[in-house]
Amino acid sequence: MIASDFSFIIPVFNRPEEVRELLESFCALSAPKTFEIIIIEDGSTLDSKLIVDNFTEQLKISYYVKENTGPGHSRNYGMERAKGRYFIILDSDCTLPTDYLNAVISKLNSNYVDGFGGPDAANDTFTDLQIAINFSMTSCMTTGGIRGNNTSEENYEPRSFNMGISKEAFQATGGFGSIHPGEDPDLSIRLKEMGYHLHLIPEAFVYHKRRISLESFYVQVNKFGQARPILNKWHPRSKRLAYWFPTIFTLGLVISSLLAALDFYWFLLLFGLYFFSAMIGVFRLTNNMIASFLVTPVIAIQFLGYGLGFLKSTLKLAVSSKNEKQLFPNLFFRSQ
């Protein structure tokens, strides 16, 4: 495969500055600039057209504007119009290291697969909070490596912030569904059920510059937690005990705090050691003291949000006769 075989698919919603940073990173890629970039404005009121226009002489960009139907449908919209034979899907809040595309080409030329994913990482431009959130979302201590660190190929589910899929596989699956979040593991599971192989390419990482506050982070991970039981219902063979861990962790922390009020501190001490280990992990990776202190509330929010969302969704699905879209309308976009 060569660079011209690839089409990059990027949905965006009201983030022109993110688009500028991402396109700057495309210009810095060491691979030939013969690839295609497709940007889809998903109902934005603050569009990126002026930004895109500044890069059209350096990069091959197609720019589309459509109604807001969510990132999954917008990615499908872009892939339907792409000219490449292999699609790489990115979030608009990512930027690429210079060797990104060369790493993808090298891997696919040596061992071709119809789907792949890459990890996300932090760089020196990240704020202290972004560094802490990146650690919490990627560390084996918190997510078990399901986003691309130390996970088996059997359990690996590429995430749509950094995901590749061949044109053939896209056409066979129909692409992403209307659930959000959860559209990327849903597609990954369907690909595997249809016999397609998915690989992790560790060298094809992106810098994922999440522009979120602690409050919006809670909302995000809570939705992740609500979506997973729906995916387990749709794909029973994808169920894993590990998905219960944030719920068990949250309940355990609450019970340990109550026991501490009764002068029984041992269980709470174990949680303290866990958070301290995470702080040490962040400091060893980044040498950033502020980020190492921030990681404790970030992990607590991640587990609380995901755990409560997972528990709520599991109970709702178990006791209600309504379908998923009726029970969780906030998780489904209206497709066009």
Whether 51 and 103 share a structural domain:
yes
Q: What ranges in 28-164 are assigned the alpha helix state H? A: 49-53, 71-81, 100-110, 128-138
Whether 194 and 295 share a structural domain:
no
Whether 205 and 244 share a structural domain:
no
Comparing CA positions, the residue from 215, 114, 117, 192 lying closest to residue 159 is 117
Q: Give φ, ψ of 175 to 5 degrees.
A: 80, -150
Query: For tokens 């998903």, what's the residue?
Result: 42
* Cα 164 from Cα 198, distance rounded (Å): 9
| Residue 300 DSSP one-character state | H
Query: For tokens 């792409």, what's the residue?
Result: 82
Residue 277 lies in a domain: yes
Residue 332 lies in a domain: no
Whether 202 and 307 share a structural domain:
no
3-state secondary structure of 264: coil
Residues of the chain with pLDDT under 70: 144-155, 335-336
Residue 12 lies in a domain: yes
Q: Write out the residue range of the structural domain in which residue 25 sits.
A: 3-118+158-211
Task: List the Cα angle 48/49/54 in 5-degree steps.
Answer: 100
Residue 222 lies in a domain: no
Residue 299 lies in a domain: yes
Give the pTM.
Answer: 0.91
Residue 313 lies in a domain: yes
**Do 6 and 103 form a contact (C-beta atoms < 8 A)?**
no
Whether 179 and 272 share a structural domain:
no
Whether 201 and 307 share a structural domain:
no
* Cα 77 from Cα 181, distance rounded (Å): 18
Q: What is the pLDDT of residue 149?
A: 52
Strands (E), 13-140: 36-42, 60-66, 86-90, 94-95, 115-117, 120-121
Q: Is residue 222 exposed (0-12), middle (13-18) or buried (19+ Cβ within 10 Å)?
A: buried
Whether 197 and 252 share a structural domain:
no
Whether 38 and 166 share a structural domain:
yes
Whether 101 and 180 share a structural domain:
yes
Looking up residue 17, the CATH number of its domain turns out to be 3.90.550.10
Q: Is residue 1 exposed (0-12), middle (13-18) or buried (19+ Cβ within 10 Å)?
A: middle
Whether 50 and 198 share a structural domain:
yes
Residue 219 lies in a domain: no
What's the first-to-final CA gap in the chain, in angstroms? 33
Is the bond into 181 cis (omega within 30 degrees of 0)? Answer: yes
Whether 8 and 80 share a structural domain:
yes
* Cα 262 from Cα 50, distance rounded (Å): 62
Q: What is the pLDDT of residue 336?
A: 47
Domain boundary among the residues 179, 211, 243 is at 211
Whether 169 and 274 share a structural domain:
no
Residue 247 lies in a domain: yes
Q: What is the pLDDT of residue 326?
A: 93
Give how many domains the chain has, as a whole number: 2
Q: What is the pLDDT of residue 210?
A: 87
